[in-house]
Amino acid sequence: MTRREVLLAPRAEADLDRIALWIAEQGAPVTALDYVGRIRRFLASLDQFPERGTNYDSVRRGLRIVAFERRVVIAIVVREGHVEIERVFHGGQNWRATLQLPDD
């Protein structure tokens, strides 16, 4: 089994920071750190079998959408040697519109 390097785009890093800040502002800073830590561990696990989730190759080559704990949607691009984490959406964000994806 070949492992691929997992790279986080600056926008994905900013998304994670925004999620943590929002949860912390709700009065739960420890929960924020734990939650974002779980998301980061999940992202790191994409080094193996990154082809999971829904394929949107017709929109952008290698684009896949994966879910995490029913509240997080992650946009990744699978390349031959690595996986790029493009965006991390939380809650009711309109990720389809942001990524310019067709409605199902």
> Which two tokens mark 9?
């785009």
User: Does the predicted TM-score (pTM) go above 0.85?
Assistant: yes
- CATH classification (class only), 5-98: alpha beta
Evaluated on CA atoms 16, 17, 23, 28, the torsion sign reads positive
Instruction: Provide the mean pLDDT of the chain.
Output: 92
- What pLDDT shows up at residue 103? 75
Q: Enumerate the domain spans of the chain.
A: 5-98
C-alpha–C-alpha distance, residues 78 and 62, integer Å: 5
CB atoms within 10 A of CB 69: 10
Looking at the predicted structure, is the pLDDT value of residue 102 above 90? no
- Asked if 36 and 14 touch (Cβ cutoff 8 Å), the reply is no
C-alpha–C-alpha distance, residues 90 and 49, integer Å: 23
